[in-house]
Chains A and B, each alone.
Chain A
Amino acid sequence: NAGVTQTPKFRILKIGQSMTLQCAQDMNHNYMYWYRQDPGMGLKLIYYSVGAGITDKGEVPNGYNVSRSTTEDFPLRLELAAPSQTSVYFCASKGTSYEQYFGPGTRLTVT
């Protein structure tokens, strides 16, 4: 099992550009999450999904979009990148246990 994978690992965007952060899990987990981590701020939930076809907003959804067409994949879309979106993004998944499994993260810089 690869667990939770994220691509890319690093990315630099110019203001106004768009991109999609990819996340995939091979554990057949129903729940998937996107978080952003800013220094001294912990993790903030952007969006989550409780199953294919179902998504919901977290604490900080503005500027982002998600889709969940399959159980395995949960891409995060940034439409018009802004410097405030400079952060480390983590995808996570959860099955029937209490544990959320995290990917290695994507470090995004918007300049």
Chain B
Amino acid sequence: GEDVEQSLFLSVREGDSSVINCTYTDSSSTYLYWYKQEPGAGLQLLTYIFSNMDMKQDQRLTVLLNKKDKHLSLRIADTQTGDSAIYFCAESSNDYKLSFGAGTTVTVRA
């Protein structure tokens, strides 16, 4: 919702890196998430990071958190056509109730 903002679209060439950015307003956010939604499907958790961490890496995914600026980013290395999807940033001050951003549609072009 309004508490989590993301740019709506990103176009990237196959093999390049994608960077999706997110800002949030709740200073008590403890858990920050990235979910992926493929066409016609529900959301699936990609990765998450706790607010006491600056970075988390998981294979091609790197999450960076700047808690001072309330800025979260997701970097996808070597972007593939299968990475075309909508990516949602979400935050939570507990671990069960999330606020989602509007989602960033990533299009991977050949």
Q: Give 1 or 0 for each of B35-75: 1 = CB within 8 Å of chain A CB.
A: 00000111111001000000000000000000000000000
**CA–CA, A45 and B92, complex, Å:** 13
Contacts of B102 in A (CB 8 A): 40-42
Interface of A, helix, strand, loop or mixed by DSSP: strand
| A48 near B97: Cβ-Cβ < 8 Å | yes
**Nearest CB in chain B: distance from A64 CB, A:** 17
**CA–CA, A45 and B101, complex, Å:** 12
Contacts of B31 in A (CB 8 A): 98
Partner of A90, one of B1, B8, B33, B42: B42
| A94 near B96: Cβ-Cβ < 8 Å | yes
| A100 near B100: Cβ-Cβ < 8 Å | no
| A98 near B42: Cβ-Cβ < 8 Å | no
Contacts of B96 in A (CB 8 A): 31, 48, 50, 94
Contacts of A41 in B (CB 8 A): 1, 102
Partner of A42, one of B33, B41, B48, B88: B88
Which A-B residue pairs are the 8 nearest by beta carbons?
A: A102-B42, A42-B102, A43-B100, A99-B45, A42-B100, A102-B43, A31-B96, A104-B42
Pick 12 A–B contacts, CB within 8 A, sort by A: A41-B1, A41-B102, A42-B4, A42-B101, A48-B97, A90-B42, A98-B45, A100-B43, A100-B45, A102-B43, A103-B42, A104-B41
